[in-house]
Structure 1
């Protein structure tokens, strides 16, 4: 009997070395799976002569470009090269793969536009390109991929807008697009996507109103429309989304309602929320979403340091939300009944102008507020650098500037804000690196920085942050190893970690095994298991912790199954 090798599977064996071109001598070979090893070098072009069905090289240290010869493998159904250091433009020849169903290219250094030949990949079911350096816009030829079930384009380098051809992808169950530059556009046409379970359109320059048809997508489990410029009312149809259990970042867009919309089991059934004053109240999920979509208009001026700011008229809550109540007293009962003369409650220690269309540079005079504790400037069109006078705001406890168009770097004078408990700098326009002075902010319980351009940097020193509950350092050009003394020391308080879309390397420190209280890791467990070759569940359970339920926001994009 003649035995032939049809499958070469060596997953997670920590093998060093290079990819063997000698596999070409195995003419019956159909599968090469070398996932999670320490292989380096390039992909052998000789493999293009083997009639392979599956190539999986996920989580290695491969460099160079994808050889054009792989386009000759007409039997290839799956190509997975995620989490390597591959670079260059994608070869046109990859468009010659008539059987390809899975094309995973995430977390490399690919450049250039998506080849026009990809329009022929009509068998595609799963296409993922996050965390790359592509150029150009999302091509409209994706409308040809009518069999597609999963599309992930996050921090890919591509510009928007989302093309109208996406309307033809009626079989999608998982759609994730984020971090798009380019022109503004209305909400994309998704009404044909009856099977959608995950819908993430984060920071995509989407304007206008949410469409009514979203409420008919009853299979939806996860929604994230954060860091856009949506306006108008919440559609009444949203009350039908009873299966949804996660709405990304709606809570943090509104003061003091962080837990209002996260982890809810049914909607619009009420859930408990602790207010700023410590009261325990019931809030419905839709109720929280309303405040996100208020479209106020006003002006910011140097007089902000004196009398309370006047606001214009506001879009009131939808009529179908009859039980709407003000959250933390920010909107008064009078405002709800007599909205034509709507004015927020007077504040003294807070400066809150989030979710407006304010623009221009921040006046240096804002640095003359000796008692200011909360300064919320998110979701406007502010430009320029943060005023140097802000170095004097030493009473600050909560500073938020997400979703703006600032320029310059995150200033090191934030080290003066030693009373700070919450710092949000997400999609602000500021560049990195994260300044070293952040190590002085030892009272922080909530640190969220994301979407930074600029130079690469090591993970900032966080070992003194004894109260930290939420740590989001997403897409911050962080490189190098995870320090053993930092995150492991936060085991008693840390609940949320997101270090996704960075370039971390090395092994997972043993101290991470004590993070038993963490109940949300976005994209991070995937790094641990796929890139660092660690069995996370076993590591945590052996240390006495509970694995719990984790939000696999980015991990799902790396699951080869």
Structure 2
């Protein structure tokens, strides 16, 4: 025993030193890992303090140690680029790893597999690709897993259901395109589950999910869910936030949802849910309910008035009927109230806004009667009143007079009468006042809100003169005041509005000459002053308005000649008829596109008889007696020259006729413009060396003719589809010969014989947009449409937007791309499904969806429902939502009801930007 004691004593004394040495060595190894990380990531500035010369690495930014071991590495928002290396697994004591919001690439890091102590893992908002590993369950202690906003794809592995400590699982905004497993229902401690905004294969919400008794948040919107919502969802007693919106869910809304005492947010919008809204059995804690854009029927439950904490109620785009329960008007927390586009009738709850600080009020496109509630702006926070397309009447509430928070008032197409409250005209923040198609009376104020950009008061009974004082009107962009009883002259101050794009003052009683300073209307697109009593000459300064595309001065008393400067305008619509204009019309207007633009002006004449106008006659001057002999000599010489020319022409024509006769064909030549080339110039250029394209119905040649470069489209007549080609040819000639537009190729002339037809256009370089978009999938040359009107350019632009977003050609499918896109949305399919595979990644998916939806709006069957190009520009610049100028036909709602569909089609400018404020 005595011999062993010294050894034991030695060990006893050496052990602390050995432990300290080992600890120091491990400490150095961990520091080395951090230095290697910094070098791998190319020394980002955010890690410049990671230097060995500093104090212990446990004090470095982002590093947390426990007992001198690194347990937390928090490097979010550090602008780190590159991959996560395998040697990270040397930090074996890590429990918290946060690399979120960087530029990390590669697949799920292998090193993480070996971090068995890990409890919190956050790799969100990076560029990680591939799948989640099938052995993710090796991280058995994991309680928080956040992979949000990456590029993960494939399936969510079943092993994720074997993480017994998991409380938070965030997988939204990735590219998962497979399935998610029912094993998720085994995560008994799970409190938050987010899988939204993924392109899963069509999947049902597993009934096993109802076993998640501790789940507080379930967010699976826009994830291709199908089938019905499980009836047992009411067993998820801890649920506070449920969002299953923008899917393809069918069936009814389970009544058990309205028995969840902890539920605060319920979002089921943009699905295919049907049936009635369940009754509210208990006084729940719901703060926001959105069931919009479904196929819900029946009435609004009176029990919704029990939801004392409800701040937002959205039921728009359904088929709800009956009256709005008065109890909803007494909800103390209600802020946003959106019931537009239903079949609701009766009066609006009179107490609405009286007991809550109402912000949004949207009940448009129903069958509501009675007055607007008096207390709408009682709380002082009302931003919008959107109630157009109803049967409302009476005078406007006096409370709107002092409502400084108002941004939008849209109450067109009702039966309101009386004067507009004075304070409403000048409401501090008012941007849109749209009150057309009512019975309002009174005069326009001299001053309006300086924020006002859109004023629409057409089809009312306003009277008096239009007078403007100061700069209060300076931001006005659209002013529509057609069909009222305004008198007096057009004020000079109206021409000083630099942002004005649309001015409609037609069907009034305005008199006098136009203001001299109209050149200030640099942004003006549309001007309609027709059906007034305006007089004087048409100002030549109209010719200097670069953006003017529609001009209507018809049914007035304008006199004098048409200013030559008007010929420089790129008008798609012109009407100067029913005035007292005289003289020869401008050469630019001598084509069929303007055939009805100058009628009922007795003093107007044309150089040729094709415009339904009399032909101008040049009267020779009277000659004096002393000039008789020279004139006779000149006349004789002219006659001789004419006979010689006639003989020469006869010889040439006979030879040409013989050649045509030998070839079995004689060309018919019709021109639409003054040309510097002849028929022979065209025919001689139809050689194989000039061929630039061919298709099922003919060929296209590039022909140089007397200094001009032409594109000649040759359509054969000897195919078995002669009638169809003939119809196509005549339609193209009829349309293109009438159109004069900067963005449409000019048809110069056409030739026709027994064997073929030739369309001669101006030649455009750099190929066509179709070739650039669809090089690999060319089509034989496009679908014809006869719906030609002033919005053809909007339609064409919409087709381009659809081509860009879908990758499909304009003639895709049986009926063309525009019809296919509309049907795609009407069938309840997601916009993401329609996008081109090359741009389908989740980044900016909302923006891509907006462009697709804008394309559908631009290609509406009803031209009046299409937006103006200025409005299209505002949407593309992100300054407006597609809802602001067109109907949101919905990316995922069903439109089986013809009544509902036609109702939405009518709303060409349906809902303001308030419709997207939820």
Fold conserved between structures, TM > 0.5:
yes
CA contact (8 A) 1:161 1:204 kept: no
Give 1:227-246 correspondences, 5 Å limit: 227-246=413-432
> Which of the two has higher C-alpha Rg?
2
Instruction: Quote the residue 1:266 is aligned against.
Output: 450
Please, which runs of 5 or more residues in structure 1 have no aligned partner?
254-260, 272-280, 297-313, 335-342, 353-370, 375-392, 398-415, 422-435, 448-461, 469-480, 489-497, 533-549
Q: Please tell me whether residue 187 in structure 1 is matched to residue 372 in structure 2.
A: yes
Residues 82 and 237 of structure 1, relative CA distance in 2, 3 Å threshold: same
Residue in structure 2 matching 1:53, options 232, 236, 240: 240
- How far, CA to CA, are the matches of 1:162 and 1:315 in structure 2? 37
Equivalent in the alignment of 2:882: 522
1:9 to 165, 188, 194: 194
CA separation in 2, counterparts of 1:13 and 1:74? 30
**1:438-458: CA deviation from partner (whole Å, max 9, x where unpaired):** 8522532698xxxxxxxxxxx
Q: For residue 790 of structure 2, what is the aligned residue in structure 1?
A: 443
Alpha-carbon spacing, 1:437–1:115, altered in 2? closer, same or farther (3 Å): farther
User: CA–CA distance in 2 between the matches of 1:293 and 1:215?
Assistant: 25
* Compared CA separation, residues 180 and 555, structure 1 to 2 (3 A): same
Q: Per the alignment, do residues 211 and 57 of structure 1 end up closer, same or farther by CA in structure 2, a change over 3 Å counting?
A: same
Provide the secondary structure at the position in 2 that maps to 1:231: strand
2:251 paired with 1:64: yes
**Cα-to-partner distance string for 1:198-237 (whole Å, 9 max, x where unaligned):** 2212222222333443231111222222222333333221
Shift in alpha-carbon separation, 1:34–1:290, aligned structure 2, 3 A: closer
Q: How far, CA to CA, are the matches of 1:270 and 1:144 in structure 2?
A: 33
Q: Report deviation, 1:246.
A: 3.4
1:30 aligns with 2:179: no
Cα deviation for residue 143 of structure 1 reads: 1.9
CA distance in structure 2 between the partners assigned to 1:81 and 1:55 by the alignment:
8
Alpha carbons 2:358, 2:377 under 8 Å: kept: no
- The Cα offsets for residues 129-185 of structure 1, whole Å up to 9 and x where unpaired, read as 0010111122222123121011101102222432313243531111111012153x2
Kindly indicate whether residue 392 of structure 2 is the aligned counterpart of residue 206 of structure 1.
yes
Q: Pairwise mapping of residues 234-313 of structure 1 onto structure 2 (< 5 A)?
A: 234-248=420-434, 266-267=450-451, 284=473, 292=481
**Counterpart check, 1:78 vs 2:265:** yes
Taking structure 1 as the reference length, the TM-score comes to 0.56
2:349 — aligned with what? Answer: 163
How far apart, CA to CA, are the structure 1 residues paired with 2:405 and 2:220? Answer: 35
Does the C-alpha gap of structure 1 residues 327 and 114 become closer, same or farther in structure 2, counting only changes over 3 Å?
closer
Q: Which moved further from structure 2: 437-446 or 214-223?
A: 437-446
From 334, 348, 372, the counterpart of 1:148: 334
Looking at structure 2, the residues matched to 81 and 192 of structure 1 have their Cα atoms a distance apart, in angstroms, of 31
Shift of the 236–99 alpha-carbon distance from structure 1 to 2, 3 Å rule, reads same
On the 8 A contact 2:276/2:297 being kept in 1, the answer is yes
The 3-state SS of whatever aligns with 2:917 is helix
**Matched residue SS, 2:386:** strand
Q: Secondary structure at the match of 1:164?
A: coil
Sort the Cα spacing of 1:235 and 1:290 in 2 relative to 1 into closer, same or farther, 3 A.
farther
TM-score (ref. length: structure 2): 0.36
Q: How many residues align?
A: 391
**Residue pairs, 1:69-468, within 5 angstroms:** 69-92=256-279, 94-183=280-369, 185-189=370-374, 190-248=376-434, 266-267=450-451, 284=473, 292=481, 328=505, 330-332=508-510, 344-345=532-533, 395=596, 439-444=786-791, 462-463=795-796
Aligned-partner SS, 1:23: helix
> How far is 1:71 from its partner?
2.3
Secondary structure of residue in 1 paired with 2:409: strand
Residues 237 and 443 of structure 1: CA distance in aligned 2, closer, same or farther (over 3 Å): closer
Q: Distance in 2 between matches of 1:332 and 1:526?
A: 35
CA contact (8 A) 1:484 1:509 kept: no
Q: Whole-Å Cα distance in 2 between the matches of residues 230 and 165 of structure 1?
A: 20
Matching residue of 1:454: none
More helix by percentage: 2
Contact kept, 8 Å, 1:55 with 1:78, in 2: the verdict is yes
Larger relative contact order, structure 1 or 2 (CA cutoff 8 Å, min sep 6): 1
1:556 aligned onto 2:917: yes
SS in 2 for 1:29: coil
CA contact (8 A) 2:321 2:345 kept: yes
How far apart are the structure 1 equivalents of 2:792 and 2:401?
35
The whole-number CA distance in structure 2 between the counterparts of 1:315 and 1:286 is: 24
Change (3 A) 1:521 1:208: same
CA-to-aligned-CA distance 1:382-426 (integer Å, 9 cap, x gap): xxxxxxxxxxx99599xxxxxxxxxxxxxxxxxx999899xxxxx
Distance in 2 (CA, whole Å) between partners of 1:289 and 1:145 is 37
**SS of corresponding position for 1:8:** strand
SS of 1:199's partner is strand
Contact preservation (8 Å) 1:105, 1:129: yes
* Alpha-carbon contact 1:136-1:158 (below 8 Å) kept: yes
Report which stretch shifted further, 105-114 or 501-510. Answer: 501-510
Give the Å deviation of 1:238. 2.6
Secondary structure, counterpart of 1:332 in structure 2: strand
CA distance in 2, matches of 1:396, 1:108: 47
| 1:438-517 matches, cutoff 5 A | 439-444=786-791, 462-463=795-796, 484-485=808-809, 505-507=829-831, 508-510=834-836, 517=873
Contact 2:883 2:916 in 1 (8 A): yes
Distance (whole Å) between structure 2 residues aligned to residue 288 and residue 220 of structure 1: 18
From the superposition, tell whether residues 232 and 327 of structure 1 become closer, same or farther in structure 2 (CA, over 3 Å): farther
2: CA distance, partners of 1:8 / 1:529: 26
SS in 2 for 1:215: helix
- Give the direction of change, closer, same or farther, for the CA distance of 1:483–1:284 in structure 2 (3 Å limit): farther
Alignment partners' CA distance in 2, 1:502 and 1:373:
42
Q: CA deviation at 1:187?
A: 3.2
**Alpha-carbon distance, 1:117 to partner:** 1.9
